[in-house]
């Protein structure tokens, strides 16, 4: 059976699209957090408050990894950049796991193994 016509190909494709879309949303949220902190945005303003509130659970595990750099109210939040990188690696790993479940023909598997053992 051709792996491109496998019944698992379309769900696999949709699954990877969903993962990349969710990563895009999360990293956009974290990028807004980073930029607002960098530009010393008023945290009680509606938009800033919204971004800080919704990004906090995703930034929280990383908040004490590095010290923040502050200059006259501006905060360079290294930890938000770290969070963005970690979430991107997690998404990449999930997509790779999805691809491991892809149906492959014996010929395709043999070809890939030969390429890896060169």
Tokens matching residue 33: 């957090």
Taking a C-beta distance cutoff of 8 angstroms, is the pair 62, 33 a contact? no
State how far the Cα of 22 lies from the Cα of 2, in Å rounded to an integer: 30
pTM value?
0.80
Tens-digit pLDDT string for the chain (118 aa): 455 566 667 788 888 999 999 999 999 999 999 999 999 999 999 999 999 999 999 999 999 999 888 888 899 999 999 999 999 999 999 999 988 877 777 887 788 788 888 7
Determine contact, residues 87/23, Cβ cutoff 8 Å. Answer: yes
Our count of domains for the chain comes to 1
Residue-level pLDDT at 1:
46
Q: By the 8 A CB rule, do 81 and 31 touch?
A: no
* 98 Cβ contact partners less than 8 Å away, ≥ 6 residues apart: 12, 15, 16, 19
Domain hosting 57: range is 3-116
Q: What is the CA radius of gyration of the chain?
A: 20
**pLDDT number for residue 3:** 54
């Amino acid at each position: 059976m051709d792996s491109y016509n496998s019944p698992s190909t379309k769900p696999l494709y949709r699954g990877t699209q969903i993962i990349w879309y969710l990563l895009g949303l999360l990293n956009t949220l974290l990028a807004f957090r980073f930029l607002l902190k960098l530009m010393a945005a008023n945290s009680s303003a509606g938009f800033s408050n919204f971004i800080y509130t919704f990004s906090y659970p995703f930034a929280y595990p990383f908040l004490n990894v590095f010290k923040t750099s502050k200059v006259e109210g501006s905060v360079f939040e290294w930890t938000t950049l770290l969070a963005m990188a970690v979430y991107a690696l997690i998404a990449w790993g999930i997509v790779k796991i999805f691809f491991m479940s892809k149906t492959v023909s014996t010929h395709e598997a043999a070809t890939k193994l030969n390429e890896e053992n060169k």
